Chains A and B, each alone.
Chain A
Amino acid sequence: MTIVRCLLLMFAVVALGVASVGAQDVVKLGQIEAQTGPNAIYGWMSSQGTALAVDEVNKAGGFSVGGKAYKLQLIALDTRGEPKEATVQLKRLIEIDKVKYVFGPFLSNVFLAVRPYAVEFNGKILMWGGATRIHDYIGTPDHDFLMRTWNWDTGPNGFGELMVDQLVKAGVKKIALLYQNDQGGKVMEDIYVAMFKKKGIEARLDYFEPGTKDFSTVLAKIATWKPDYLFPGYADSYIYDIVRQATEAGQLKKFFLVRGSLGPGLKNKDALDEYVVYVPKYFEEAEKKDPKVQKFIASYKAFYKRDFPYDQAPLCSSSCYDHVYMLVEAMKKAGTVDDPAAVKKQLMSMTYDGLWKIRFDEKGEAVFNFDVVRLRKGGAIEVTTVNPK
């Protein structure tokens, strides 16, 4: 009996809490990301940055649109990376919370599950996330509600081709790809195997199971092929171990990455020869020169009272801090908070200069500046910032 009472009490407290927020006019932002679970890397930073931005906006007094004052309310739900969870959560956000602006998802399997439901609200909501699979749907009929908030690898402003061209210039002949056997890995395969072939570099692909910690066997197999570079998967949780084990075994010492952070390279800097990585922003460097970045870091530390996660921060390039501010600006320009289609129109024509310089291409996919970081043995770092046109 006590547990029922406890549950009821908790429910009442929460309901009271939620009700009391509605005092001022509020624009609700929904978020479906994996805050916990094995793929939390692709949702955690987004949830951190969004919450911070919402808090800042509200502390500054909110914003006004069409003469009325508004505050933001963020309803961030943890999908745990599970499509089933996310479907119910999205229904709850749209139906019960009457949310019109949805941040996320970053995970493709979650996106695929919620898409059929979201389509039924085409025109009534705006959903923008970083999921790679969103690329297949933006700009298609019935998907006007959809935008993608991450850079795309190929295409005129793509970073992938730029990175591969660097390898070509360096005279690379053989590259070994080692990807996670899941959505992200398969999409990477589609993009990069074709690209390497086009550019005349011989590529070999091996997959590993999610959850693998010991890569000795597959690395040993790859080493017998004697590639020039190793191109490991996309989640830091694996790259740390791959780079460490590869350099320890001593045969694979050059690394090329288009996902993941610089962290693994730094950790193993004395054992490797070279580590080249695409990073939305190399925060350690940016902090020195960019006042906006400094402000962000300071705000983060004050708000969360913990160290700034430098290696995860680049993931705030998708549906995160900047995007809250972009949305507010778009609502102001559109003169309405209730019309997602009008707001989207404004977003599509904006260039926002925040932590990143963000604009959207004609289909609704983000284009923003990024860094290419080259780390050499011993720790020498060379950062090249690329500003897409």
Chain B
Amino acid sequence: MTQLVLGQVLNGAIIGAMYGIIALGITLTFGITGIVNFALGEFMMIGAYATYALAERAHLPYAVAVVPACFISAAAGYLSNKAFFRFTRNNLVNGLLVSIGLISIFESAALLLWTATPLEMSYVLPGAIRLGDVGLPKMKLVVFGVIVVVIVGTYVALARTWLGRAAFAYAQNPEAAQLMGVHTPRLETAVMLYSTGLAGLGGALYASLYSLEPAMGGVYVLKGMEAAILGGIGSLMGSLWGGVILGIIEAVGSIFLPTAFRDAYGLAVLVAILLFRPSGLFGSE
């Protein structure tokens, strides 16, 4: 039993990291630009399918395919921002509707291009590490490592550099930031590019573990949102912690209670946190 629990704690943490990278995208976008990008799951999907195309059709090695895939997602994000999202700044409901529209468009485009048949990439790093009875797939560990590095790296980059301070100044007071010399439209574009690129990276990593479907993004944006809120919107490390905690709660909850209610465990904790500490575990209000 303890082996089972331990195995699931580790597994939950890894799955949670995946939620975390989407959560980071959400927290950055919403925290800095005030735009609600509920379609972030679609950019994840673009990154996943782009990786698939480059690795399977163009026969690039996986690690090489991931990089252009992120750029493709970022490019899609750039276009979406330029055309639509930047008009929804601080308008939750408009942003939501634009997101719903984009989700419809991207998902249908993926269906047209790839059909609903699930696509599986050739395995990148098959095999698992054994800890007693527990088998932990090697690729999952790699994915976890990459995500942690990326999130911590983002945190360090933003907390310690001028760019980061500018970003948060902008979040606080756009006019003042502009007066202080921060080039605001460029900042907004940069945030959109980076967050959708992150989602694309999440998708590329997802592709190495699971089969791809056009509808894959839907679940992740919801979980990402949960994780972002749990960790505290605006807190970068919070998005990683929120994701990991969410993943662990779901995994461990499913051991002792019915698996059918897996989503509910995370939701219940989320509601509790929101009621008693709305700024999330690591956020500051």
Contact = CB atoms under 8 A, between A and B. Distances in A.
A218 B254 contact: yes
B210 A213 contact: yes
B126 A248 contact: yes
A181 B123 CA distance: 28
B126 A271 contact: yes
Interface in B94-123: 108, 111, 115-118, 120, 123
Contact of B259 (A37, A217, A236): A217
A237 B11 contact: no
A76 to B, nearest CB: 15
A216 B211 contact: no
B118 A240 contact: yes
Given A207-B260, A250-B135, A236 B8 contact: no
Interface stretch (A38-46, A113-121, A195-203): A38-46
Interface in B31-57: none
A25 interface: no
Contacts of A209: 259-260, 262-263
Nearest to B261: A209
B160 interface: no
Q: Place the interface of chain A in its size category.
A: 35 or more
A206 B257 CA distance: 12
B215 interface: yes
Contacts, number: 95
A97 interface: no
Of B116, B123, B213, most buried by chain A (CB within 10 Å of CB) is B116
Nearest to B130: A250
B255 interface: yes
Contact of B120 (A214, A220, A240, A245): A240
B255 A217 contact: yes
Contacts of A271: 126
A136 to B, nearest CB: 25
Contacts of A38: 116, 213, 215
A220 B8 contact: yes
Of B108, B130, B215, most buried by chain A (CB within 10 Å of CB) is B215
Contacts of A221: 4, 254-255, 259
A216 B126 contact: no
15 contacts: A36-B111, A38-B215, A40-B111, A181-B260, A209-B259, A211-B218, A217-B255, A218-B259, A220-B134, A237-B118, A249-B137, A250-B128, A251-B135, A267-B120, A312-B117
Interface string B217-254: 01100000000000000000000000000000001001
Contact of A241 (B117, B134, B211, B218): B211
B115 A44 contact: yes
Contacts of B15: 214, 216
Nearest to B128: A248
B137 A248 contact: yes
A181 B216 CA distance: 18
B205 to A, nearest CB: 13
Nearest to B262: A209
A128 to B, nearest CB: 23
A153 interface: no
Of B108, B111, B211, most buried by chain A (CB within 10 Å of CB) is B211
B118 A220 contact: no
B127 interface: yes
Contacts of A245: 137
A195 to B, nearest CB: 23
4 nearest CB pairs, A to B: A40-B116, A249-B135, A237-B118, A250-B135
B260 A236 contact: no
Contacts of B128: 248-250
Given A211-B218, A220-B11, 8 more contacts: A40-B115, A41-B117, A44-B117, A206-B259, A217-B259, A217-B262, A220-B255, A267-B120
B25 interface: no
Contacts of A217: 8, 11-12, 251, 254-255, 259, 262
